[in-house]
A = this chain, B = another copy of it.
Amino acid sequence: MHEHAVPSQPHPDDLARVTEVFKALSEPIRVQLVLLLTGSERSVTQLVEALDQPQSTVSRHLALLRSADLVKTRREGTSVHYCLADSHVARLVQEAFSHAQHERLGLSDHPAARPVPGGVH
């Protein structure tokens, strides 16, 4: 298994892109936005309500996610609906949570990705 590997000297564009994505996901509110958009699109209003944060704050973070091409928008009348740009981000975030969960549950090293439905409480 694992015949594939990124060389320790990666393509500069890839390195830049990777860090851009990680930076975009380095704030709790933005990770939460990604989670909320995983599986279903949502309007800004819905996101503001879900996060209970000022509208300008949510909008600003959405703008950042959009400038990183992690989310797309669709206008519908006066409201704007956001959704994930592709499955990449969701997958990445999913995996990160899987790891965090394992750590929290005291598991040493995970043998195979195996998150729990509902997220283990």
Question: A residues within 8 Å of B by Cβ?
Answer: 3-11, 13-19, 21-23, 25-28, 31-32, 35-36, 38-39, 50, 86-88, 91-104, 108-110, 114-121
Contact = CB atoms under 8 A, between A and B. Distances in A.
A91 B99 CA distance: 10
A22 B31 contact: yes
Contact of A8 (B7, B35, B115, B121): B35
Nearest to A121: B11
A6, A22, A25, A26: which has the most chain B beta carbons within 10 Å? Answer: A6
A27 B18 CA distance: 9
Contacts of A39: 5
Contacts of A95: 91-92, 95
